[in-house]
Structure 1
Amino acid sequence: MQKIVPFIILFFCCSLAWTQTKSTDSSATAKPKVKNIDFNVMPYLNYNRTLEFMFGAIPMMMYKVNKADTISPKSLSGISAVYSTNKSYFIASFNKWYLKEDSWRAQLFIATGNQNAQFYVDDIDVPAFYDYGTKASMVNFILQRKVIKSLYAGIGYAYAHYDTKYEDDIEPSSITHTNGLQFNLMYDTRDAVYYPTKGDKIKLRWLNDPKWLGNDVTANKILSEYNTYFPMRHGTDVLAARFSGKFGLGNIAFEQQVTIGNEDIRGYSEGKYRGDGLMALQGEYRYNFNKRMGLVGFAGVATIYGSDTESFNWGLYPGAGVGYRYRAFKTEKFNIGLDAAVGKGDWGLYFRIGEAF
């Protein structure tokens, strides 16, 4: 699913937000009650080296599925609609639900769009970037159940359909669809799911695309991550660290390959370094100078394998940058923001809904 870049990039300084509250009877003596839903609408404006200028809107809300449940974190639902000046567009719905005193967790992601991007080809007379366009639709659902304290196990289903055409017929046009089963484990000791200040999150996912589920070939991906958090400055700031590993096994389609960039190593937006698998290490310091605002500084290094360009395999690709954060909801520590980063001969801007990890 690495084919589609983040759907939502925000210019938070001009965000429009409000909190819905219940009206109260003037004759009542009880304190006004706050409504269950905290709702934001944000404009979307950014620039990407591949997609160029992007603009759109992101309405989203945080809420309790069950008001009587005081243990579960608030759930999150939103819609993003984005158009770029290179004629790409994305429409997506994203949802995270926390249920039954956090005994159940579920995620649903639905998206459709047309991405006009580029990839690097070196097995020709003049190595260069070539454009391609992909019309894509996807659905991803995950359900998890708490097994014991802090340990969740779950299953999921992922469907994707890609229709890809390449510039100058550098590659044959292709139509690919995948039906995948997911099995996952997660160990979560974080003190908060949206802005942790201490604890760990360890995730392991196995994605299997078997032939009997309608796939042309069998493919497997193993996705792993380890995030850890340390409170700093008497709990005002946070030092965060992350390891990420994405391992493609078998026949990995072009659209299913990974590229260096996004949340793993920021600073790469050209899509040059592409392969079947990736490993990355990074650290980030989150400095909060105000109750509603903060800055971050981050650095890391990544490597890939399975690239069609042999010289890219197992190289080291560093990235570093800084970012701004703004608290989007009054009742929940949930940040939105913008990061700027540089990499090896590349750079990128990244909108954040929530933290990078």
Structure 2
Amino acid sequence: MNHNNIILSLMQKHLLIVLFFLCFTSTFAQEKTSDTTKNVQPQKKNIDFNVMPYISYNRTLDFMFGAIPMMMYKTNKADTISPKSLSGITAIYTTNKSYFVCSFNKWHFNEDKWRAQLFAMAGNQNAQFFMDDFDSSGFYDYGTQTFLVSVSALRKIVKSFYGGIGYSYAHYDTTYQEDIQPASVSHTNGLQMILLYDTRDAVYYPTKGSKIRARWITYPEWFDDVNANKIISEYNTYISVRDKKDVVAARFAGKFGLGNISFEQQVTIGNDDIRGYSEGKYRGDGLMAIQGEYRYNFHKRMGVVGFAGVATIYGSDTPSFDWKLYPGAGVGYRYRAFKNEKFNVGLDGAVGKGDWGLYFRIGEAF
């Protein structure tokens, strides 16, 4: 049995266990709710646990399905100021034979004076990219086996202002259809300097305030085979028009690649900013995007969103794509994943310039 079949077999076994556990816990919860003969007040749990199914579709990856077990908890029960921390695992398989297993963690410590994150991913992505040369133009398939881990820590300096450092390691093994480009095996070590200004009233579902974050990521030549830098900036702001019913959110994002940016390090419209692009056509060394979103809660555990935005890129392998405007707009559905915390999962549908996409969300888009 080859490596891919072993991983797929393990994922299928874990999914069966997760689905069985989900059915069991759902039945137990229903039985517990229906028992009205007991008047004992349940103790408030420190850990909220849930398993969400993952079902989506992408024009590049095709149908995607999997499971997301996750939990929210206090790192210290006596800490009434820190938001709850979040940990989870995502296991996804696609019908174009891609697979991903991810672990995501966000921690808040010591009355929110410290914040830390840990993300790890292993998988194989079978995707496509667009290439325009003198002989022909079109989409070409490629496959990348990836292992990635990223860790960061922030310390509050003054009220609402944080500073910190981070480190990321990535290993890529990429092959291309018809040898349109040479196969490559590479790794990167990124050192990060992070600044954050955060006045949001909640980290998972803000209704007012702003978040400004800037990251400088360097891939130094003494640490890597290439010498490159990235500047990643974002500004998010939130306003509630009707108390506890809706939120108007706006975002500007800038991702600037400097130096020898590799194919795997490039940014693609549709991955993080400006939904509606799933073909992987518009990619380059840098990206700028602005967008807005309206979030309406029609039920205590359900809501809908509408969004629109526009992006531009530079440093594309197809120069005619540089500095053009790429709009996107769509709608989505949200469901509150935890009873005691406003944290949503959902599904978005969006259209872009000659493209469209479906997006399963863990948390809000921004």
TM-score, normalised on structure 1? 0.91
1:144 matched residue in structure 2:
154
Post-superposition offset of 1:31: 4.3
Q: Is the 8 Å Cα contact of residues 285 and 313 (structure 2) preserved in structure 1?
A: yes
1:321 to 330, 344, 349: 330
1:311 matched residue in structure 2:
320
Following superposition of structure 1 onto structure 2, how do residues 118-133 of structure 1 map, counting pairs within 5 Å? 118-133=128-143
Q: Do residues 186 (structure 1) and 211 (structure 2) align?
A: no
Residue 60 of structure 1 aligns with an amino acid whose one-letter code is M
Post-superposition offset of 1:124: 4.0
**Unmatched runs of 5 consecutive residues or more in structure 2:** 1-21, 33-38
Residue 126 of structure 1 aligns with an amino acid whose one-letter code is S
Give the Cα separation in 1 of the matches to 2:60 and 2:198: 35
1:197 to 188, 207, 232: 207
Post-superposition offset of 1:30: 8.1
Post-superposition offset of 1:200: 0.2
2:70 matched residue in structure 1:
60
Q: Is the 8 Å Cα contact of residues 91 and 111 (structure 1) preserved in structure 2?
A: yes
Q: Is the 8 Å Cα contact of residues 321 and 341 (structure 1) preserved in structure 2?
A: yes
Q: Do residues 294 (structure 1) and 292 (structure 2) align?
A: no
Give the Cα separation in 2 of the matches to 1:208 and 1:195: 31
Give the Cα separation in 2 of the matches to 1:324 and 1:195: 15
Q: Do residues 108 (structure 1) and 121 (structure 2) align?
A: no
Give the Cα separation in 2 of the matches to 1:343 and 1:257: 20
1:248 matched residue in structure 2:
257
1:36 matched residue in structure 2:
46
1:219 matched residue in structure 2:
228
Tell me whether 52-61 or 221-230 shows the greater mean CA deviation: 52-61
SS at match of 1:168: helix
Residue 150 of structure 2 aligns with an amino acid whose one-letter code is N
Deviations 1:117-147 (A, max 9, x none): 0000101422010000000000000100000
Task: Report the number of matched residues.
Answer: 335
Q: Is the 8 Å Cα contact of residues 55 and 360 (structure 2) preserved in structure 1?
A: no
Q: Do residues 51 (structure 1) and 61 (structure 2) align?
A: yes
Tell me whether 336-345 or 225-234 shows the greater mean CA deviation: 225-234
1:232 to 214, 224, 241: 241
Q: Is the 8 Å Cα contact of residues 251 and 290 (structure 2) preserved in structure 1?
A: yes
Deviations 1:71-108 (A, max 9, x none): 00000000011111111000010000000000000000
Q: Do residues 76 (structure 1) and 91 (structure 2) align?
A: no
SS at match of 1:333: strand
> Percent of aligned positions with the same letter in both sequences?
74
Q: Is the 8 Å Cα contact of residues 54 and 360 (structure 2) preserved in structure 1?
A: no
Q: Do residues 210 (structure 1) and 220 (structure 2) align?
A: yes
Residue 66 of structure 2 aligns with an amino acid whose one-letter code is G
Deviations 1:267-307 (A, max 9, x none): 00000001000000000000111111111000000000000
Residue 178 of structure 2 aligns with an amino acid whose one-letter code is D
Residue 51 of structure 1 aligns with an amino acid whose one-letter code is L
Post-superposition offset of 1:233: 1.8
SS at match of 1:72: coil
Structure 1 segments (4+ residues) deviating >4 Å: 15-20
Deviations 1:18-43 (A, max 9, x none): 699xx9xxxxx984312211000112
Give the Cα separation in 2 of the matches to 1:335 and 1:344: 28
Residue 302 of structure 1 aligns with an amino acid whose one-letter code is A
Residue 231 of structure 1 aligns with an amino acid whose one-letter code is S
Say which structure is richer in helix.
2
Q: Do residues 350 (structure 1) and 359 (structure 2) align?
A: yes
2:292 matched residue in structure 1:
283
Give the Cα separation in 2 of the matches to 1:263 and 1:84: 19
1:156 matched residue in structure 2:
166
Give the Cα separation in 2 of the matches to 1:200 and 1:43: 31
Give the Cα separation in 2 of the matches to 1:262 and 1:282: 14
1:98 matched residue in structure 2:
108
Residue 228 of structure 1 aligns with an amino acid whose one-letter code is T
- Report which structure shows greater RCO (CA 8 Å, sep ≥6): 1
Give the Cα separation in 2 of the matches to 1:45 and 1:229: 29
Q: Is the 8 Å Cα contact of residues 262 and 350 (structure 1) preserved in structure 2?
A: no
SS at match of 1:288: strand
Post-superposition offset of 1:235: 4.0
